[in-house]
């Protein structure tokens, strides 16, 4: 019993650390967008990608991320203690509200990618792949009169891991799932069992998409982690996390995007907030868009992939005299992602573009074929692989595309 309690305490501590990592990454991207993070010069030396502590405290208070400066300092100290940010010279372990330069460790390559972080990232990637599957095993399920979201039988997850090459054997699959459980990423719905390859019901404890408020980091307790037991309808109504870059096919009726069929007719389709390219076109109820929209956004897309006037082979695209033109475009992702969807087996093409997103600003359009990602030929790769290349690469994505001659 004591061993079980100890494991739970460790899992909850790791779960909190995961929340800190996600909140820190969301803050980092917002500060980049707000131009608070930039190269700064001090005493004849240039410090790249850093921010002034005093300016950041101003920003946190003005954006209502903290009620006062003292709380804002506590929040940043929390991120410092978790090795998310640090003084540019590593001389000050205490975060001060002063004209001192600090930097996010992800911006200078000093972020500690230890075993714990790697398991967290593996869990996030699996979550994305699972939830994007059109026949996803993550579903609302009921047990003893209580409904659980993102839940699944243990044996079904092992089956999925084997089918998708995530584990070489059922034993390896169980070992992976137990590691995820130990790190607070999945758990038995009533927290009574370790992970077993059986019909026992488990669920993901972490909603990687939820937008974190920094003030919640100081108020989190073990009770907060227990909230995942029952369905929380507002949990998924937050903007998406940049770790996720995409959201489930939403159900709200107040948001819409325009779908373009081969006959060019326009129709309304339900959508959610703008997110962007996901790690495996990971969401779909057929194939829902990787692009999420604001309530005022209009995105040209066809959820049934009928965007192309006709299918093309790679040979047709590369044939001499083919009616296509090549272009190299650079897309700089924002706090929500890149803002476009790729679809298709080989070659893959752009299915949807958020007009207000980075992709549209860079010149990405529907019906363009993706030829290269960061100089690597992807014509013969499917959209899942192409998506993964973008997701695992730098924030600035260099694409070579081919588009039809008008």
pLDDT digits 0-9 by tens, 120-141: 888 888 888 887 788 899 989 9
Query: Hey, what are 75's tokens?
Result: 């929040």
Taking the C-alpha atoms of residue 301 and residue 342, their distance in angstroms, rounded to an integer, is: 11
Three-class DSSP category at 280: coil
Average pLDDT over residues 243-254: 34
Q: Which of 165-179, 271-285, 312-326 has the highest mean pLDDT?
A: 165-179
Handedness of CA 166, 170, 176, 182 (dihedral sign): positive
Q: Is the peptide bond before 320 cis (omega within 30 degrees of 0)?
A: no
Helices (H), 151-233: 154-163, 170-182, 215-219, 222-226
Q: What percent of the chain has pLDDT over 90?
A: 21
| pLDDT at residue 65 tops 60 | yes
Q: Of 341, 340, 346, 345, whose CA–CA distance to 318 is shortest?
A: 346
Taking the C-alpha atoms of residue 178 and residue 195, their distance in angstroms, rounded to an integer, is: 6
- How sure is the predictor about 290, in pLDDT bands with cuts at 50, 70 and 90? very low
Query: What pLDDT is stored for residue 307 in this prediction?
Result: 58
* 331 neighbors 289 (Cβ within 8 angstroms): no
Q: What percent of the chain has pLDDT over 70?
A: 74
Output 368 or 294, whichever has higher pLDDT.
Answer: 368
| pLDDT at residue 28 tops 50 | yes
Q: Which of 1-10, 197-206, 367-376 has the lowest mean pLDDT?
A: 1-10
Query: Hey, what are 57's tokens?
Result: 């405290």
Taking the C-alpha atoms of residue 262 and residue 268, their distance in angstroms, rounded to an integer, is: 15
Q: What rounded mean pLDDT belongs to the chain?
A: 75
| pLDDT at residue 53 tops 60 | yes
- What one-character DSSP code corresponds to residue 105? G
| pLDDT at residue 310 tops 70 | yes
* 392 neighbors 339 (Cβ within 8 angstroms): no
Using CA atoms, how far residue 318 sits from 95, 350, 368, 375, 385, in Å, is 56, 18, 14, 16, 20
- Sequence-distant (≥ 6) Cβ neighbours of residue 263 within 8 angstroms: none
Query: What pLDDT is stored for residue 250 in this prediction?
Result: 35
Q: Of 21, 34, 31, whose CA–CA distance to 241 is shortest?
A: 21
Three-class DSSP category at 398: strand
Taking the C-alpha atoms of residue 249 and residue 252, their distance in angstroms, rounded to an integer, is: 9
Three-class DSSP category at 330: strand
Predicted model pTM: 0.48
DSSP labels for 281-297?
Answer: S---SSS--S----TT-
- What one-character DSSP code corresponds to residue 241? P
| pLDDT at residue 244 tops 80 | no
Counting Cβ atoms within 10 Å, is residue 299 exposed (0-12), middle (13-18) or buried (19+)? buried
| pLDDT at residue 195 tops 80 | yes
Handedness of CA 151, 156, 162, 163 (dihedral sign): negative
Residue 317: how many CB atoms within 10 A of its CB? Answer: 16
Query: What pLDDT is stored for residue 131 in this prediction?
Result: 79
Q: Of 316, 380, 318, whose CA–CA distance to 344 is shortest?
A: 380
Average pLDDT over residues 103-121: 81
Taking the C-alpha atoms of residue 56 and residue 32, their distance in angstroms, rounded to an integer, is: 12
Query: What pLDDT is stored for residue 132 in this prediction?
Result: 78
Q: Which of 210-224, 350-364, 377-391 has the lowest mean pLDDT?
A: 210-224
Query: What pLDDT is stored for residue 50 in this prediction?
Result: 93
- How sure is the predictor about 330, in pLDDT bands with cuts at 50, 70 and 90? confident
* 65 neighbors 84 (Cβ within 8 angstroms): no
| pLDDT at residue 156 tops 90 | yes
| pLDDT at residue 160 tops 80 | yes
Q: Which of 91-95, 285-289, 389-393 has the lowest mean pLDDT?
A: 285-289
Average pLDDT over residues 75-99: 90
Query: What pLDDT is stored for residue 14 in this prediction?
Result: 73
For the chain, give me the number of helices (H) and strands (E)?
11, 17
- Sequence-distant (≥ 6) Cβ neighbours of residue 145 within 8 angstroms: none
Query: What pLDDT is stored for residue 43 in this prediction?
Result: 83
Taking the C-alpha atoms of residue 345 and residue 381, their distance in angstroms, rounded to an integer, is: 7
- How sure is the predictor about 5, in pLDDT bands with cuts at 50, 70 and 90? low
Q: Of 71, 129, 63, 66, whose CA–CA distance to 95 is shortest?
A: 71
Q: Which of 37-41, 104-108, 279-283 has the lowest mean pLDDT?
A: 279-283
* 148 neighbors 229 (Cβ within 8 angstroms): yes
């Amino acid at each position: 019993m004591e061993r079980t309690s100890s494991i739970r305490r460790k899992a909850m501590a790791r779960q909190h650390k995961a929340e800190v990592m996600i909140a820190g990454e969301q803050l980092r991207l917002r500060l980049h967008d707000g131009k608070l993070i930039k190269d700064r010069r001090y005493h004849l030396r240039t410090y790249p990608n850093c921010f002034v502590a005093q300016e950041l405290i101003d920003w946190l208070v003005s954006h209502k991320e903290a009620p006062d400066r003292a709380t804002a300092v506590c929040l940043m100290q929390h991120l410092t203690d978790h090795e998310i940010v640090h003084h540019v010279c590593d001389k000050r372990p205490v975060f001060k509200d002063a004209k001192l330069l600090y930097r996010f460790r992800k911006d200078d390559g000093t972020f500690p990618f230890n075993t714990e972080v790697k398991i967290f990232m593996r869990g996030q990637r699996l979550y994305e792949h699972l939830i994007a599957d059109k026949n996803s095993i993550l579903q609302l399920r009921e047990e003893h009169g209580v409904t659980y979201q993102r839940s699944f039988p243990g044996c079904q997850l092992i089956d999925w891991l084997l089918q998708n090459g995530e584990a070489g054997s059922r034993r390896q699959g169980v070992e992976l799932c137990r590691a995820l459980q130990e790190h607070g990423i999945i758990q038995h719905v009533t927290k009574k069992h370790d992970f077993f390859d059986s019909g026992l019901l488990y669920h993901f404890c972490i909603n990687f998409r939820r937008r974190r408020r920094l003030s919640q980091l100081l108020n989190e307790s073990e009770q907060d982690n227990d909230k995942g037991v029952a369905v929380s309808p507002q949990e998924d109504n937050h903007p998406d996390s940049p770790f996720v870059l995409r959201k489930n096919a939403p159900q709200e009726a107040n948001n819409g995007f325009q779908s373009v069929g081969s006959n060019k007719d326009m129709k309304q389709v339900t959508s959610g907030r703008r997110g962007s390219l996901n790690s495996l076109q990971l969401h779909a109820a057929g194939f829902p868009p990787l692009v999420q929209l604001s309530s005022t956004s209009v995105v040209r897309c066809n959820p049934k992939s009928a965007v192309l006037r006709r299918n093309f082979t790679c040979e047709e695209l590369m044939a001499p005299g083919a009616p296509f033109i090549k272009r190299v475009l650079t897309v700089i992702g924002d706090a929500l992602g890149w803002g476009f969807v790729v679809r298709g087996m080989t070659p893959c093409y752009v299915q949807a573009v958020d007009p207000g997103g980075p992709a549209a600003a860079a010149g990405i359009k529907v019906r363009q074929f993706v030829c290269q990602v960061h100089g690597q030929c992807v014509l013969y790769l499917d959209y899942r692989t192409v998506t993964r290349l973008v997701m695992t690469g730098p924030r600035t994505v260099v694409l070579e595309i081919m588009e039809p001659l008008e």
